[in-house]
Amino acid sequence: MTHRLSYGLYLCALLCAACSSSLPEPLPARQPRSEYLPVPYPPPAAFAEVVPKAPPGDALWIDGHWAYRGGEFVWERGGWVSPPAGARFAHWRIRYSQDGTLLFADEVWYDANLKPIPSPKKLREAFTPSNELTPESQHGF
């Protein structure tokens, strides 16, 4: 019985490793509490995006995400970027405050000293497969 269990765990670990992302990502950073702002509702489910071929060089992949702009969530496409040396990246986050208020922190890039910097320009942008919300001009086909 122990042999079957260890074989099953091995197979599960192998499958998990095969399904993991192999796209190069930036160094992580944490969202400071000051970046969280109240929002009236959580963001919708993410769009599926097609990852284009990586540009030459040391480009890193950033997934598409929802950003809160002007009182509503808007989709920001993912893409390949070339960040400054030593830059770190904090993914968007959502959490609840102690009083139950929903809080959202947008993505932020930081320099090596953990000071916010402008987002690097996308070298190649992801595109969205056909759906009822995306005009044909944005499909990338």
Q: What is the pTM of this model?
A: 0.71
pLDDT at residue 107, rounded to an integer: 93
pLDDT at residue 134, rounded to an integer: 58
pLDDT at residue 28, rounded to an integer: 84
As beta bridge partners, residue 109 has 89, 117
Closest CA to 33 of 93, 75, 83: 93
**Beta carbons of 67 and 135 less than 8 angstroms apart:** no
Q: How many other C-beta atoms lie within 10 A of the C-beta of residue 62?
A: 24
Report the phi/psi class of residue 133: left, alpha or beta, with left for phi > 0 and alpha for psi in -120 to 50.
alpha
pLDDT at residue 14, rounded to an integer: 38
Domain range list for the chain: 23-138
pLDDT at residue 24, rounded to an integer: 80
Residues in the chain predicted with pLDDT less than 50, given as ranges, are 1-3, 5-20, 139-141
**Beta carbons of 78 and 126 less than 8 angstroms apart:** yes
pLDDT at residue 68, rounded to an integer: 95
What contacts 95, CB < 8 A, 6 or more positions away? 36, 103
Chain centroid to CA 60: how far?
Answer: 12
How far apart are the C-alpha atoms of 11 and 125, rounded to whole Å?
Answer: 35
